[in-house]
Amino acid sequence: MRSRIKTLCFLCVLCGASFCRSLDREAFSITNYDLNLQIEPEQHRLGARGKITLRNDTATPQKIAVLQISSSLDWRVIRAANKLLQYVTQPYTSDIDHTGVLSEAIVTLPQDVAPHATIDLDIAYEGVILLDTTRLTRIGMPEDLAKNSDWDRIDEDFTAIRGSGNVAWYPIATNAANLSEGASLFEVLARWRNRQAGSKTHLKVTTTFAGDPEPRVLLNGANCEPIMLERVGTPGLLSTECNAQPSQRDTPTLLIARYGVMEKRPVTVYFLSNHDAAASKFADAAETSAPLVQEWFGPAHDKAKVADLRDANATSFESGPLLLVPLSASTSKSPGLTVVHQLTHASFFSPRSWIYEGLAHYAQALYLESQKGRQAALDYMGAHRSALEQVEPNSDTAGSEHEVKDSLVNTSDEQLLRSKAMCVWWMLRDMIGDAALKKAIASYKPEQDNDPTYMPHLITAQSQRDLSWFFDDWLYHDRGLPDFKIESAYAASTPTKSFMLTLTLDNLGTAAAEVPVIIKFASGEMTKRVELHAKSKLTFRVEMPSAPQEIRVNDGSVPEGDVTNNTFRLPEPTK
């Protein structure tokens, strides 16, 4: 204890009184992890030892680095060039970890690290990783629900620990995230992942195990290579080697379990005992839906992976092409609808969330349409739309800071990135057609995506249509949602015995859209698509073979604030 106090005083002298205020926790990113992990599942214990590389991401030299791990782990050693470094440890409240607190080491580096320069550190830490729901229960979530969401733990027979955002089982360096402050956790995580893009991970994982067969170790859904297996003695010992270069999309996730493996061309399914039937369903569904995914998003660059979770109530989790899901509970749901999302991630990569997540959700709607028709897809999007109405502003935000910050190209709000982005892709498809949109997607190169306007330009190039009004209201700004209303409709018979309908539509909302208008008459219905700008009216005329009976604006393909004013019934025509 005394040495800690001494160190603290040393740092105070070093940095002056402004030390704590001036601490830049996000100054360094970690570009390389080379760690030996010792895991004793029956003790819930993790011990880590190895080397990490820190890169100064700021424009000024840095002498202090902050390293954070879960609060259930303790720092043992931090060294550079074989010299022990001075560091202070402190608990740091942050919801980026399931315990709600990080063990933070404030490290005095041996010398200033210049901007963009790197420094290697040897580190060691250890502790336990138990089920912990603190961060959720302290914001009022009932324990039962919290357990289903924060299920990470090292446990006998089954270990599953997701990385940053759930369990800091490897060092990170972030500002505090707060679950009670809207998108705070998403924002902190998004920044961390962007900084970590291109970082490399090499792990040697040694785990004890009891009984037969030995478990399987997976990192990000990839099988770690066994390098040593000792069955003699109790417990047995298994060492494996895992390499990963996580993308901005991946949450480094470590799994240790007695998984069976089912391989199909587009997917690998890891399943726990007695879940073979559910695993087959997933694998078969992946094979069935792979052609649709390839048609839209090109050939797979990776295999989708599905790994079983032990607890039947565990909330599923995705990390790029990897899906963690309790297979025992998923048999009744549509495995095709689920797996098509991961297949899309395995085929198509973008560093931009509205593209990457939006297209994977859009693929799910396409899948439903292919199975059950357009209405099924619209119903599926309907569930997302109602969630969207909760997060979208319902008043005019023009000119506000929020309008740009929460735009689809900037936001880190998951609801917007999933639900709204999916609807945007669907609307684009309705506007420009399958062929043009497929071509735009095929021409996308993630390495050339250096500007938010890149994808919109590709779409414009294929559609030959000016869609800047649409991109303005849906991508570059958060203008909320449209609200369509049929203001008036009037039909009159023509001398040629047809009918002329005069229709006035209103968009009371704050975003423009192209929307279908469905006109029913005795012998059928017709659909007309109209472009309706925010806070504006449009009057147009349609000729039809018999008297129109009912008019409906929006078939559900455009997210909208209020749908109660979308239908208009016409009186019987006067003879």
Of the pair 340, 491, the CB lying nearest Zn ion is at 340
Q: Are 69 and 168 in contact (CB under 8 A)?
A: yes
State the nearest-atom distance from the C-beta of 361 to Zn ion, in Å: 7
- 378-397 core/surface letters (b: 16 or more CB in 10 A; e: else): bebbeebbeebbebbbeeeb
Contact stretch for Zn ion (CB under 5 A) within 250-258, 306-314, 355-363, 393-401: 355-363
Q: Which residue is nearest to Zn ion (CB)?
A: 360
Of the pair 75, 362, the CB lying nearest Zn ion is at 362
| Distance between CA atoms of residues 132 and 152, nearest Å | 8
Report the largest interatomic distance among the alpha carbons of the chain, rounded to a whole angstrom: 101
| Distance between CA atoms of residues 379 and 368, nearest Å | 10
State the nearest-atom distance from the C-beta of 178 to Zn ion, in Å: 24
Of the pair 100, 358, the CB lying nearest Zn ion is at 358
State the nearest-atom distance from the C-beta of 74 to Zn ion, in Å: 34
Residues 6+ apart with CB under 8 A from 67: 75, 78, 104, 105, 107, 121, 123, 171, 172, 173
Of the pair 344, 566, the CB lying nearest Zn ion is at 344
Q: DSSP label at 475?
A: I
Contact stretch for Zn ion (CB under 5 A) within 184-192, 228-236, 358-366, 384-392: 358-366
Contact stretch for Zn ion (CB under 5 A) within 56-64, 356-364, 405-413, 463-471: 356-364
Q: Are 324 and 338 in contact (CB under 8 A)?
A: no
State the nearest-atom distance from the C-beta of 243 to Zn ion, in Å: 23
Binding of Zn ion at residue 324 (CB under 5 A)? Answer: no
Contact stretch for Zn ion (CB under 5 A) within 310-318, 388-396, 406-414, 561-569: 310-318
Q: How many residues form the binding site for Zn ion (CB under 5 A)? A: 2
Of the pair 127, 358, the CB lying nearest Zn ion is at 358
Of the pair 103, 289, the CB lying nearest Zn ion is at 289
Of the pair 208, 319, the CB lying nearest Zn ion is at 319
Q: Are 337 and 367 in contact (CB under 8 A)?
A: yes
State the nearest-atom distance from the C-beta of 416 to Zn ion, in Å: 14
State the nearest-atom distance from the C-beta of 177 to Zn ion, in Å: 20
454-463 vs 434-442: helix crossing angle, rounded to 10: 140
Contact stretch for Zn ion (CB under 5 A) within 119-127, 315-323, 444-452, 502-510: 315-323
Contact stretch for Zn ion (CB under 5 A) within 222-230, 357-365, 383-391, 420-428: 357-365
**Of residues 274, 217, 210, 261, the one with CA closest to residue 240:** 217
**Of residues 68, 110, 118, 109, the one with CA closest to residue 89:** 68
Q: DSSP label at 26?
A: T
Q: Where are the beta strands (DSSP E) in 158-212?
A: 158-162, 200-209
The partner residues of 205 in beta bridges, in order of sequence, read 37, 240
Of the pair 314, 360, the CB lying nearest Zn ion is at 360
Report helix, strand and coil shares of the chain as percent, to nearest 5: 30, 35, 35
Q: CA–CA distance from 333 to each of 259, 274, 281, 532 (Å)?
A: 22, 18, 10, 38
| Distance between CA atoms of residues 525 and 1, nearest Å | 80
State the nearest-atom distance from the C-beta of 284 to Zn ion, in Å: 21
Of the pair 150, 357, the CB lying nearest Zn ion is at 357
User: What's the order of all strands across the beta sheet hosting 222-223?
Assistant: 158-162, 253-257, 216-219, 222-223
Of the pair 353, 554, the CB lying nearest Zn ion is at 353
Binding of Zn ion at residue 360 (CB under 5 A)? Answer: yes
Token couple for 490:
């009037």
Contact stretch for Zn ion (CB under 5 A) within 85-93, 352-360, 462-470, 498-506: 352-360
State the nearest-atom distance from the C-beta of 352 to Zn ion, in Å: 13
Of the pair 348, 499, the CB lying nearest Zn ion is at 348
State the nearest-atom distance from the C-beta of 480 to Zn ion, in Å: 25
State the nearest-atom distance from the C-beta of 305 to Zn ion, in Å: 13
Q: Where are the beta strands (DSSP E) in 299-417?
A: 304-308, 317-319, 322-325
Number of other residues whose CB lies within 10 A of the CB of residue 330: 21
Binding of Zn ion at residue 272 (CB under 5 A)? Answer: no
User: Letter for the amino acid at 385?
Assistant: R
State the nearest-atom distance from the C-beta of 344 to Zn ion, in Å: 8
Q: Which residues are near Zn ion by CB under 5 A?
A: 318, 360
